[in-house]
Amino acid sequence: MQTLPTLIAILCYLTAASLQWQTISGRSINRQIIRLIALVAIIAHSYAVYLDLHHPGGIHLGFFSIGSLIGWLVATLVLLSSLRQRIDNLFIGILPLAALALLFTLFGIDTNIAKQYGSGLVIHILLSILAYSIFTLATFQAVLLAKQDYHLKHHMTKGLLRSLPPLQTMEALLFEMIWTGLILLTLSLVSGALVFEDLFAQHLVHKTVLSILAWLLYATLLIGRHFLGWRSHKAIRWTVGGFIVLMLSFFGSKFVVELLM
């Protein structure tokens, strides 16, 4: 039953990304059509995620299931953000990754079993997923910003650059995302401290240390932005660096425990 909505979502994700790529090449395609196809993909993905997470024995939070959930949330955030800012070109990177995350739920080997979770733990998990999703989106925004900055410095005014908002707007949007992600990550760490008796227990220490390190990296970036005027390349490097650390925190231990051991 999960296979059909998954395949529909994958097909629509790839179609929307392909059409968006063609707009960069100069082909005139109605933005609303691309968004509509992306919306169909997200609706189908929503149903597929629901079927994957909800089991008679409880909630299934396996490695690939969480990846699919994050892919869905990031794709949804990008689509909603595209209504306010011209960031449709993020579809080119985000939507295929969401499709890949879905594909793994069909063919990946997941040893995690469904369990019953307390409300406090569920809140902690949701906050963590939200924070990670926002920082994923911020990282793609940073990569797009780097590309835009490169084009401007080399006087390349066609294709990608022409379809993006001004550089200042792109930077402002990036830091909005980072602020939002940092607030969510802070709430995630606080909720984790309330839910778990010892955040530095053996099975949590890896995730806790890396999450705190990622928090420090993002906080340093925001402080540098406010007091030292950090922007452009520095902002991009710190954003990507923080994301790598957070990715290792979020998926590293889960990958080792569920797929390698």
User: Taking a C-beta distance cutoff of 8 angstroms, is the pair 37, 95 a contact?
Assistant: no
Q: Is 1 in a helix, a strand, or coil?
A: coil
| Beta strand extents in the chain (DSSP E only) | 54-55, 58-59
Per-residue pLDDT at 186:
95
Per-residue pLDDT at 12:
97
Q: How far apart are CA 122 and CA 116, in angstroms?
A: 10
Q: Domain coordinates of the chain in residue numbers?
A: 1-116, 118-261
Per-residue pLDDT at 115:
65
Per-residue pLDDT at 6:
94
Q: How far apart are CA 58 and CA 37, in angstroms?
A: 32
DSSP 8-state code for residue 249: I
Per-residue pLDDT of the chain (261 residues; tens, 9 = 90+): 678 999 999 999 999 999 998 887 778 888 899 999 999 999 999 999 988 887 766 677 777 888 888 899 889 988 988 888 777 888 988 899 999 999 988 876 555 565 666 778 888 888 888 898 899 889 988 888 888 887 777 766 665 566 667 778 788 888 988 999 999 999 999 998 888 776 666 566 788 888 999 999 999 999 998 888 887 788 888 999 999 998 888 766 555 444 444
Per-residue pLDDT at 259:
46
Q: Is 219 in a helix, a strand, or coil?
A: helix
Per-residue pLDDT at 232:
74
Per-residue pLDDT at 110:
59
Short-list 68, 44, 50, 70, CA closest to 133: 70
Per-residue pLDDT at 256:
47
Per-residue pLDDT at 206:
80
